[in-house]
């Protein structure tokens, strides 16, 4: 199975790409699957893959997801449209997983929710609640209700257009944490855009070891305590050392999606060999 990893970080240092590649290598080693991958620097170098891959993983990234005239954005949305069209016209499907910034971009591009800037940054490890559809979706099978995930964003998808979603066969899988003391709508946290295309607002690729190493640096500790307070920092440190929090999410969501794509494509590979 050929995997295209779309780096949306605009040449800025990040942990997300390391975690995505780690997930691919973990599935490759544990499941003895024949996986290969190529990385495309979408925003930094205007690099966009063609349609000769089986699975596309599009990363999170910094900055605004609002519309621009940048060349990379035109190429990126052209690819997204081509993938949807391919899946409607071909038996051998293309699988796509969209993370955070990519989730926001595609949600806006498809016009299925209102994208807006938050009043304040959402940053930390938070509970994520599954909808009824999310409770039965294979991507989240094995996770409790609620489960915990890394959330880092200045923007949010709200007010879904349910008629438009229903027309395209999209379903909401997860919602933001319940905040009874806040009189604001809850953000969408995961959507199945089609049988083959899933996106999450949170970061399912984040691992506890890397995140713990990252947040123990003096620079990051000072930044978090200055912006969010010591209590938030202490809570995050405790969650990072709890195997039932992001370690569980990291082991289930993205690796599970890769395995599901590989299983779905396996019969097609056998048909190709027989032909």
pLDDT at residue 3, rounded to an integer: 98
For the cut 50, the answer to whether the pLDDT of residue 131 exceeds it is yes
pLDDT in tens, 171-221: 999 999 876 666 678 899 999 999 999 999 999 999 988 888 878 889 888
pLDDT at residue 51, rounded to an integer: 98
Question: Please, what is the angle between helix 246-274 and helix 208-215, to 10°?
Answer: 140
pLDDT in tens, 23-78: 999 999 999 999 999 999 999 999 999 999 999 999 999 999 999 999 999 999 99
**Weakest mean pLDDT among 8-17, 99-108, 214-223, 257-266:** 214-223
Residue 96 burial (CB count, 10 A) = 27
For the cut 70, the answer to whether the pLDDT of residue 268 exceeds it is no
Cα–Cα dist 68/60, whole Å: 17
Q: Enter the pTM of the model.
A: 0.93
Q: Report the mean per-residue pLDDT for the chain.
A: 93
| Four-point Cα dihedral 167, 6, 149, 213, nearest 10 | 180
pLDDT at residue 180, rounded to an integer: 65
């Amino acid at each position: 199975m050929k995997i295209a990893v779309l780096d949306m970080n605009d040449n800025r240092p990040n942990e997300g790409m390391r975690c995505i590649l780690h997930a691919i290598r973990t599935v490759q080693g544990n499941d003895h699957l024949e996986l290969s991958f190529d990385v495309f620097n979408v925003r930094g170098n205007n690099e966009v893959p063609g349609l000769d891959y089986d699975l596309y993983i599009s990363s999170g990234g910094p900055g605004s997801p609002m519309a621009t005239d940048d060349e990379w954005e035109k190429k990126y949305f052209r690819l997204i449209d081509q993938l949807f069209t391919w899946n409607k016209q071909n038996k051998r499907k293309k699988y796509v997983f969209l993370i955070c910034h990519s989730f926001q971009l595609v949600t806006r591009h498809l016009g299925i929710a209102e994208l807006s800037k938050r009043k304040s940054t959402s940053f930390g490890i938070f509970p994520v609640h599954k909808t009824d559809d999310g409770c039965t979706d294979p991507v989240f099978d094995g996770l409790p209700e609620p489960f915990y995930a890394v959330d880092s964003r200045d923007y949010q998808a709200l007010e879904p257009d349910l008629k438009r979603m229903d027309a395209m066969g999209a379903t909401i899988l997860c919602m933001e944490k319940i905040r009874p003391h806040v009189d604001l709508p809850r953000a969408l946290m995961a959507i199945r855009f089609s049988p083959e295309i899933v996106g999450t607002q949170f970061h399912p690729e984040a691992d506890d070891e890397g995140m713990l190493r990252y947040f123990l640096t003096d620079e990051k500790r000072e930044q978090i305590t200055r912006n969010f307070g010591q209590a938030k920092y202490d809570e995050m440190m405790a969650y990072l050392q709890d195997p039932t929090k992001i370690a569980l999410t990291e082991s289930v969501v993205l690796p599970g999606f890769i395995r599901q794509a590989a299983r779905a494509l396996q019969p097609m590979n056998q048909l190709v060999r027989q032909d």
